[in-house]
């Protein structure tokens, strides 16, 4: 009996490689989202600290108030930019997830086909083995009767 060959194995391996690449891209996008969230939190924390520092002063110079107000405006603008980036990254993550699901379906379909053909091949090997054994048994009985 010839050994099992799956003619679509190279395609299955290529699709598995593509799936791996999609997973790496998804992880990268998720890391980008985590980084962006950390930046938002750090910026908000810095604003709270600056406000607390100015409030803790007994006498607040006008320059401190002006600087705090300018800093608040800047952080507000930065937070808006970061929120826009977050929306963009979330869309990117969704696209990556859809690509991963599509790639998984492609790999799973070929894997299922491969397993099905392997099962059929094994059944054929078993039938051939049984036929060979039966022939040997019949031949041996024939020899024993002489």
Query: How far apart (Å, rounded) are the C-alpha atoms in residues 56 and 73?
Result: 21
| pTM as predicted | 0.73
48 confidence band (pLDDT: 50, 70, 90) = very high
Encode 69-83: b = buried (16+ Cβ within 10 Å), e = exposed. eeeeeebeeeeeebe
Ordered by start, the domain boundaries in the chain are: 9-145
Which range among 4-8, 48-52, 72-76, 99-103 shows the weakest confidence by mean pLDDT?
4-8
**DSSP reduced 3-state for 61:** coil
Task: Read off the pLDDT of residues 86-143 as tens digits, 9 standing for 90 and up.
Answer: 999 999 999 999 999 999 999 999 999 999 999 999 999 999 999 889 888 888 887 7
Q: Which two tokens stand for residue 58?
A: 């007994």
- The topology (CATH level 3) of 9-145 is Helix Hairpins (1.10.287)
């Amino acid at each position: 009996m010839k050994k099992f060959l799956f003619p679509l194995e190279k395609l299955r391996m290529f699709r598995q490689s593509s799936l791996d690449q999609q997973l790496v891209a998804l992880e990268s996008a998720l890391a980008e989202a985590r980084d962006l969230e950390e930046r938002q939190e750090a910026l908000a924390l810095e604003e709270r600290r600056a406000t607390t520092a100015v409030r803790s002063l007994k006498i607040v110079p006008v320059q401190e108030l002006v600087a705090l107000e300018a800093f608040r405006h800047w952080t507000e603008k930065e937070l808006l930019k970061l929120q826009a980036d977050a929306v963009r990254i979330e869309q990117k993550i969704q696209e990556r997830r859809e690509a991963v699901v599509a790639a998984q379906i492609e790999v799973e379909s070929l894997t299922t086909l491969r397993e099905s053909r392997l099962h059929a091949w094994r059944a054929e090997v078993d039938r051939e083995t049984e036929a060979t054994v039966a022939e040997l048994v019949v031949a041996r009985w024939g020899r024993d009767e002489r």
